[in-house]
Structure 1
């Protein structure tokens, strides 16, 4: 058998995973007739019927299901090849994508980007604000700041340290409800909760603060949104200390009880460690995060110029 055209294999894999030619054609940016011809060509070359056509749907045959696993392995090999090529790149000019949560994007990244613009201006920095864990293996991002340890064996994770978050309330909220001085004083208070609520309530209980489900009547997966609501006095919220320092009128509540540690993991792909561009950005981000953890200060404050000494 002659070599198999990778485009045919890619068409087959996309069609099998999407479940229809129309969905696969949109995914690959090909016309439906072109995709259909590529799948038919693969079936002819392999002498295997890959799909049964039931109305407008395509159902994998037993032979097709066996071929799909091989197609996925070929795709993984192609992705590894692309990663390896990117990792060997030595030039500095180009994109570096950083995946971070919306809170880190707002309160941490501006200071980091400012330094990157000063030190490596030829690099284009793309900040992807998402609370989902971007797939570094597929190059959705080159570097990620996560709050959990990566488990994928092909990823390198470095624990930089921890930031801290506490319960906060605005001066306006305290004026209406009084200043809580014990966990019992929070009974009946509206607590602005992170999604999933059950996990949030569990974390708070570990701190010694028990919440009834009726108290968590405002829920979001966006930290920035919850923090702005806290600032406006809608309820009590768990806010990162470095963010609260930039919001006048917020007061820390029950600091001995309500501290929530926020780990900072800096993650990249093993193959990309050989890229000079990504390595430089990685080192700058690591240094800035380390400074932030040690100082606990506003991440966007003006840094001392090189060589400056304390007065």
Structure 2
């Protein structure tokens, strides 16, 4: 191993080659030339005394050493990005960048008007929104604030419960006019059902509460909640949808409310070290208030049977 301390730029190039599988693609992503990325990789290998990639017929393949280093390089990237966000917030007033993570549906359908109102009040504030159903690690500063559908358990987090979002079965009025309204869960067998593709721990927990809602019965399967919502709106069939969201569209009709209903606890969380950050405190409060208003905004009307 060389005595030379690896440069952060070398790790950036390393991560991009891991992600893209080639020097040229990594260079395009970073705005660097292919030879420059190649030199970064060579320098990092020399500094660490490790072989990080082998050239294959379809690009660069990571070695076992590279795969072991990946999480540490990712941590460096997250820390560097967090450092820049913290630096952006220094100065008078509320300013800088806040990185927020939320699920697809919450991020696309619910947060934009909340964040737009926040921006109007705080014009020097910038938002980075990560749409992901994965659990972003706030302790590693991959995000500043997270909207989560479960109670955060880490002690180093500041968390506020904003309510429980009810989920029910919905269909477009056009579909129900054509196919009729199911009067019981058993009648769903003759209807087109929209649902998930891959089973997760959360889905298994929901299935324990709601009977007769299994993958084998779905005519439309997608792991993207947005794709399922799009199919419901298009009149494809019957699917699960957040009740407050469906209530905003009078064409979406709730069915079998007494037989199919579950709630998702909703929390806003951030690292306790950010409590004194004006940019994060203001954003945290706006998200908590806006999500509470969304949850309490109403329940979609159930069709008469």
TM-score bin, normalised by smaller chain: 0.7 to 0.9
1:90 aligns with 2:94: no
Alignment correspondent of 1:183: 185
Unaligned runs of 5+ in 2: 300-305
Distance in 2 of aligned mates of 1:242 and 1:27: 39
Alignment correspondent of 1:263: 265
Alignment correspondent of 1:285: 287
1:33 aligns with 2:35: yes
**Could you tell me which of 251, 254, 269 is aligned with 2:253?**
251
Distance in 1 of aligned mates of 2:248 and 2:47: 64
Deviation at 1:239, TM superposition (A): 1.7
Secondary structure of 1:255's match? coil
Deviation at 1:34, TM superposition (A): 2.7
Unaligned runs of 5+ in 1: 299-311
Deviation at 1:74, TM superposition (A): 7.0
Alignment correspondent of 1:4: 5
Alignment correspondent of 2:303: none
Alignment correspondent of 1:223: 225
Secondary structure of 2:147's match? strand
Deviation at 1:287, TM superposition (A): 2.0
Alignment correspondent of 1:301: none
Question: Within 5 A, what are the aligned runs for 1:77-116?
Answer: 79-80=78-79, 83-84=82-83, 86-87=85-86, 89-91=89-91, 92-116=94-118
1:164 aligns with 2:163: no
Does the 8 Å contact 2:85/2:98 carry over to 1? no
Distance in 2 of aligned mates of 1:215 and 1:28: 45
Distance in 2 of aligned mates of 1:177 and 1:52: 57
Secondary structure of 2:190's match? coil
Secondary structure of 1:263's match? strand
Distance in 2 of aligned mates of 1:49 and 1:102: 39
Distance in 1 of aligned mates of 2:188 and 2:103: 28
Corresponding pairs, count: 293
CA shift in 2, pair 1:275/1:241, >3 Å: same
Q: How high is the TM-score relative to the length of structure 2?
A: 0.73
Does the 8 Å contact 1:244/1:250 carry over to 2? yes
Does the 8 Å contact 1:191/1:235 carry over to 2? yes
Does the 8 Å contact 1:160/1:264 carry over to 2? yes
Deviation at 1:162, TM superposition (A): 0.9
Does the 8 Å contact 1:188/1:215 carry over to 2? no
Alignment correspondent of 1:307: none
Q: How high is the TM-score relative to the length of structure 1?
A: 0.71
CA shift in 2, pair 1:240/1:142, >3 Å: same
Q: CA offsets per residue over residues 112-152 of structure 1, 9 Å max, x none?
A: 12431343232233444454555657766432323245577
Does the 8 Å contact 2:45/2:52 carry over to 1? no
CA shift in 2, pair 1:194/1:42, >3 Å: closer
CA shift in 2, pair 1:226/1:141, >3 Å: same
Alignment correspondent of 2:148: 146
Deviation at 1:58, TM superposition (A): 6.4
Alignment correspondent of 2:236: 234
Q: CA offsets per residue over residues 188-219 of structure 1, 9 Å max, x none?
A: 21111134367797466434431464531112
